[in-house]
Chain A
């Protein structure tokens, strides 16, 4: 799933690139691949059709057929069209000059509305605003309690009237409360609803009519498939939302829905929700999303994620050590633990750009359980051994293998690969180009396996 898109694009376009002059049929062929790839990213079928037609026109109009480097022209056209589609106005929340600013949240069941309410409240409070939230989900069991708990956690007032009253009335009442208490912001949480549920959609329109929100936000799950277009159209009709919050972007979905919704409604995406915790809300970056859909990797997000997890001073020290080959197994263990906090290995690899094929292979090969074994091996070493692995002789190896529940072979392999890695860091430090094959061979993730070719580790392998 992961890199099919980038692989396809890179594959076809590399083919184009190598061929020099193109015919229109060549471009059609490339566009078929682009189309397939976008479908795999869950971009809506109709949007894909329109998009590829547009790119084709641009490519031909841009003189790709005669261009010296037609492949690159096509890449450029694809990228441009996508960035334009995703991008546009650097949208922001509207803050009303007259308090309270009202924000209405809407969306399907389970898309992440309530959590997003809490996150928005937290952000706005950090900006020095007073925030209240209205509990208008009377449908889902314990939805009111959920919002109340979030309110407590972030320091926002929650206006609730249980589940017996009409949500429209609760919303209106809450607005009165917010005015009376001179709150800067009122965030209205609503029940999840299906876009085809006429009654509930009418209710949403009514809430909007009565509270006159300055911002209506549609909350959309990044994993949404082809139906995103229907959902967006119906919500646009009932509530004419202003902007979109994309949730669960901490997952590994390509998020083609973002493109579909942008294409059919033209509404900007303002926030990206990237986790369950209340601080996991970010400004949305259209260019990064374009890159993610295109499979160009998400380096920026990766860097940010790393920054969030790593202590800066620590990281600098680590980098210094790596570059000077003073990097010990102890450092490595520390590093490993930190990296693993960012997610599974394959998800981290998936965010790395430019090595589609190799990354894909690595993803199939790395197994987080191998890392457990690596950790166990290092943990079974004495501090002295971790500092200077060259002292590890046969007896020590046997002890370490027994202590970690692995084999002598596995211990040996880890040590060899650690050595390779140190060499590679030196190579990096000296500014030479990184050889991806070297990177693969030194994948310490394969060390714990105790020799032999990496296999599926006894787990279910991908079937075709």
Chain B
């Protein structure tokens, strides 16, 4: 489910300064090898617990198409947290198409299924918009889903690999040691950080960070925010205020609002995305912790019901463990391939 970095960002007029294909610097002949190695690692980790269905799909679940086949498929999708409505939709569509003879044979059925899933996930994932200078990205989401880590990984990717000038804003002024946590990430990524004391005003930090980016002609401002539950109206309002403060400093900001969704999240993920989107116009999902056994199927439901697609995936706690989203690989992983 990881795509190419070169496809992940819309840099506008900017030329990536260092590694043009977005791969880590080094001997070019090395690169393809490294990429393959990494993808393999990713796939290995994704497939650590292959479901029995994965094996069945390969060994011919679709050889005969009967009620049991569709039930088995439903089970797989439900177990991947896709949720009943989206599962019913996918399986229903596949069944109808199969009956109408649109395709036949196990291979074609399987291929169509993957295509359907990938289509729903967003066949052409939208790029992350970095055309403006500075471009402002707001990281939002419920507690513990991976906002700060993603901010750190993304800062590294943009600063070190694309050679952009990044400023991170430590706008989680609530949680204990949240600022210190981001400070560490900013050191790893080699970027600037704008911070305030814990208990300070989150909006002011964002405002200052944008101002700093403008005066230093930095390219990107990444704003980490405090985790909050979507059903806390007061906290959602506060987030809206932070967004509005950003707008006041730079009317085109924020250029992206990314919500982190933990891949282990169940059906509640849909409500998270819905309520965050209502408050701050979420432009994309970062699906984190895909290195576990959870498949992150709720992202499919989010894409289908809210039209918000995944842009990035998190596959570990290391600074390089962030990848662009690739719908087809995601679809295959959902099926336990």
Contact = CB atoms under 8 A, between A and B. Distances in A.
B232 interface: yes
B266 A253 contact: yes
B181 interface: yes
A394 interface: no
Contact of B84 (A2, A36, A341, A460): A36
A248 B227 CA distance: 11
A195 B278 CA distance: 34
B75 to A, nearest CB: 6
A461 B79 CA distance: 28
Interface string B223-243: 000000111111011000000
B48 to A, nearest CB: 5
A40 B233 contact: no
A110 B293 contact: no
A227 B293 contact: yes
Interface string A28-50: 00000000100111101100000
B176 interface: yes
A110 B266 contact: no
Interface stretch (B20-28, B103-111, B137-145, B200-208): B137-145
Nearest to B147: A110
Interface string A213-237: 0000000010111111011000000
A195 B293 contact: yes
Interface in B138-175: 142-146, 152, 174-175
Given A110-B262, A194-B291, A252 B268 contact: yes
Interface in A42-70: 42, 44-45
Contact of A45 (B78, B184, B231): B78
A229 B172 CA distance: 32
A40 B297 CA distance: 13
Contacts of A253: 266-268
A87 interface: no
Interface in B176-198: 176-178, 180-181, 183-185
A460 B306 contact: yes
Nearest to B146: A110
B81 A225 contact: yes
A224 B265 contact: yes
A228 B264 CA distance: 8
Contacts of A141: 152, 180-181, 183-185
Interface in A321-345: 340-341, 343-345
B252 interface: no
B180 A250 contact: no
B67 to A, nearest CB: 14
B305 interface: yes
Nearest to A225: B266
Given A141-B185, A460-B278, A227 B292 contact: yes
A250 B229 contact: yes
Interface string B68-100: 000000010011110111000000000000000
Contacts of B292: 108, 194-196, 227
A149 B268 contact: no
Given A109-B289, A110-B143, A346 B231 contact: yes
A80 interface: no
Interface in A92-109: 108-109
A15 B145 CA distance: 41
A252 B298 contact: no
A225 B271 contact: no
B310 interface: no
A370 B85 CA distance: 31
Contact of A221 (B78, B181, B264): B264
A110 B180 contact: no
A417 to B, nearest CB: 21
Interface string B261-278: 010111111111010011
Nearest to B232: A343
Contacts of B289: 108-110, 194
Contact of A343 (B233, B272, B297): B233
A225 B176 contact: no
Interface in A406-464: 459-460, 462-464
B176 A149 contact: yes
A146 interface: yes
Contact of B48 (A1, A196, A221, A252): A196
Contacts of A182: none
B317 interface: yes
A112 interface: yes
A36 B262 CA distance: 23
A375 to B, nearest CB: 13
A257 interface: yes
A347 interface: yes
A312 B202 CA distance: 34
B80 A110 contact: no
Contact of B317 (A109, A224, A226): A109
Contacts of B83: 39-40
Contacts of A368: 233, 237
A340 B234 contact: yes
B123 interface: no
Contacts of A112: 143-144
Nearest to A109: B289
B294 interface: yes
Contacts of A383: none
A221 B81 CA distance: 15
Given A44-B79, A225-B297, 6 more contacts: A110-B145, A110-B262, A145-B177, A250-B232, A343-B231, A344-B233
12 contacts: A1-B267, A36-B84, A41-B267, A110-B146, A110-B262, A223-B268, A224-B265, A225-B297, A231-B264, A252-B271, A460-B306, A463-B307
Interface of B: 45, 48-49, 75, 78-81, 83-85, 142-146, 152, 174-178, 180-181, 183-185, 229-234, 236-237, 262, 264-272, 274, 277-278, 289, 291-295, 297-298, 305-307, 317
Interface of A: 1-2, 36, 39-42, 44-45, 108-112, 139-143, 145-146, 148-150, 153, 194-196, 221, 223-228, 230-231, 248, 250-254, 256-257, 276, 340-341, 343-347, 368, 459-460, 462-464
- Interchain residue pairs A-B with the least CB separation, the first 7: A225-B266, A110-B144, A42-B266, A141-B184, A344-B233, A142-B180, A253-B268
